[in-house]
A and B are shown apart, each in its own frame.
Chain A
Amino acid sequence: MRRAAAIGIVLALALVAGCATRRPDEATPYAQMGGQDGVTAIVDDLLVKISDDARINAKFANANIVRLREKLIEQICAEAGGPCVYTGLGMHEAHAGHGIGAADFNALVEDLIEVMEARRVPIGAQNRLLKRLAPMYGEVVGP
Chain B
Amino acid sequence: MSARAVRSLVRFAVAIAAALLALPAAAGDGRLLATGGASQIEGAAGGGLVPWAVLSGYGSDGQNGATAFATHVDSGDYALDALGVAVTLRNRVEFSYTRQRFDLGELQHRLSLPVGAFRQDVIGAKVRLGGDLVYTAMPQIAIGVQRKRQLDFDIPRAVGARGDRGTDIYLAVTKLYLAGLSGHHLLVNATLRSTDANQAGLLGFGGDRKSGRSLVLEGSAAVMLNPRWALGVEYRQKPDNLRFAREDDWKDAFVAWFPNKHLSLVGAYADLGSIATLERQRGVYLSLQAAY
Q: What 1/0 flags go to B169-185 for Cβ under 8 Å of A?
A: 00000000011011111
Interface residue A21 (Cβ < 8 Å from any Cβ of B): yes
A92 CB-CB contact with B under 8 Å: no
Residues of B near A5 (CB, < 8 A) are 235, 249, 251, 271
Q: How far is the CA of A53 from the CA of B33 in the complex (A)?
A: 17
Residues of A within 8 Å of B, CB-based: how many?
36
Q: Which residues of B contact A128 (CB under 8 A)?
A: 179, 183
The contact string, 1 if C-beta is below 8 Å from chain B, for chain A 11-25, is 011001100110011
Per a CB cutoff under 8 Å, which of B32, B178, B231 touches A131?
B178
Given contacts A102-B30, A103-B28, A124-B184, contact A1 B179 (CB under 8 A): no
**Contact of A17 with B182 at beta-carbon distance under 8 Å, contacts A2-B249, A5-B235, A134-B135 already known:** yes
* B contact patch SS: loop
Asked if A106 and B184 make an inter-chain contact with CB atoms under 8 angstroms apart, the answer reads: no
Q: If A123-B226, A127-B178 touch, does A103 touch B63 (CB 8 Å cutoff)?
A: yes
Name which of A36-44, A64-72, A107-115 contacts chain B: A107-115
Q: Does B233 contact A (CB under 8 A)?
A: yes
Q: Is the interface of A mostly helix, strand, loop or mixed?
A: helix
Q: Which residues of B contact A20 (CB under 8 A)?
A: 181-184, 223
**Complex Cα–Cα for A13 and B219 (A):** 13
What are the residues of chain B within 8 A of A125 when measuring CB–CB?
183
Are A1 and B33 neighbours in the complex by a CB distance under 8 Å?
A: no
Q: CA A62 – CA B32 in complex, angstroms?
A: 26
B290 sits at the interface (CB 8 A): no
Interface pair A13/B136, CB less than 8 Å apart? no
Binding site for A on B (CB under 8 A): 28-33, 60-63, 91, 132, 134-136, 178-179, 181-185, 221, 223, 225-227, 231-233, 235, 248-249, 251, 253, 271, 273
| 4 more A-B residue pairs beyond the given contacts A24-B182, A102-B91, A124-B183, with a C-beta to C-beta distance below 8 A | A20-B181, A102-B31, A130-B178, A134-B134
Q: Can you name 22 A-B pairs with beta carbons within 8 Å?
A: A1-B273, A5-B249, A5-B271, A8-B251, A9-B235, A16-B223, A16-B233, A17-B181, A17-B223, A20-B182, A25-B183, A102-B61, A103-B29, A113-B227, A123-B183, A124-B179, A124-B182, A124-B183, A128-B179, A130-B178, A130-B179, A134-B135
